[in-house]
């Protein structure tokens, strides 16, 4: 059973273009995400899924330069991009994350994979609740279900947001919202959608990052709990509606 994480990444963000290759200390944001995912114990492959748009040529160049596996597909039809990526790399289990989460937690990814492998679910997703810190979320599903979605889903919004059709139909699909440990239950935003999001992440990396290591989420929570001025930097930013 090949377990693959697919990172959807593109330069053409509507709110903060080029953010995925912005510098955070000694690495680019996408590089930090990739490095953090290498700490997962339950993954067999890490793939960057970018688009065929010209402005994403630089993402391909970045991947090639760092010897990262990648695939290029549709910009708007993200569901198809995921399906083609997973098919190309012979994935059995797919973990979905986005390239705007520079503090993605390896322990949570491993935890959700374990829940999926050892349970009987169509989807393991914290997005079915609003408790988890935004930016630590990941989703796990099978290639078979991804293939079915790709061939049957017609709604444009549901094709743009890979698992949205599943989340819209909780009576049809078995969805598990993982139990969340107390220190992950906060209203903090650790994802990057706007400039103030990136300001906060920059400050976190400036204060906690050490070359050759990854930042522990518990340290981030402690930092924000004890420095409300930091937590308030992006408090006003609203999550984009799907």
Are 138 and 95 spatial neighbours (Cβ–Cβ below 8 Å)? Answer: yes
Are 62 and 30 spatial neighbours (Cβ–Cβ below 8 Å)? Answer: yes
**Token pair for 40:** 């997962």
Give the C-alpha separation, 120 to 43, whole Å: 19
Which pLDDT tens digits describe the chain residue by residue (242 residues)? 999 999 999 998 777 889 999 999 999 999 999 999 999 999 999 999 999 999 999 999 999 999 999 999 999 999 999 999 999 999 999 999 999 999 999 999 999 999 999 999 999 998 877 789 999 999 999 999 999 999 999 999 999 999 999 999 999 999 999 999 998 999 999 999 999 999 999 999 999 999 999 999 999 999 999 999 999 999 999 876 65
Which domains does the chain possess? 3-231 (3.90.550.10)
């Amino acid at each position: 059973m090949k377990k693959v994480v697919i990172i959807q990444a593109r330069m053409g963000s509507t709110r903060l273009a080029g953010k995925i290759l912005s510098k955070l200390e000694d690495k680019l944001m996408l590089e930090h995400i990739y490095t953090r995912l290498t700490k997962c114990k339950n993954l067999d492959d890490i793939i960057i899924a970018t688009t065929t748009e010209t402005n994403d040529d630089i993402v391909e160049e970045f991947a090639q330069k760092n010897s990262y596996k990648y695939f290029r597909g549709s910009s708007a039809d993200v569901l198809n991009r995921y399906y083609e990526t997973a098919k190309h790399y012979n994935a059995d289990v797919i973990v979905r994350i986005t390239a705007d989460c520079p503090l993605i937690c390896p322990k949570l990814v491993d935890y959700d994979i374990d829940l999926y492998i050892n349970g009987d679910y169509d989807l393991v997703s914290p997005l079915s609740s609003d408790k988890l810190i935004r930016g630590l979320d990941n989703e796990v599903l099978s290639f078979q279900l991804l293939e079915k979605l790709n061939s049957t889903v017609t709604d444009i919004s549901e094709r743009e947001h890979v698992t949205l059709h599943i989340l819209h139909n909780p009576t049809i699909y078995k969805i598990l919202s993982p139990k969340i440990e107390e220190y992950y239950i906060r209203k903090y935003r650790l994802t990057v959608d706007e400039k103030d999001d990136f300001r906060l992440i920059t400050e976190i990396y400036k204060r906690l990052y050490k070359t050759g290591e990854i930042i522990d989420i518990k340290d981030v929570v402690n930092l924000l709990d004890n420095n409300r001025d930091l937590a308030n930097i992006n408090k006003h930013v609203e999550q984009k509606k799907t």
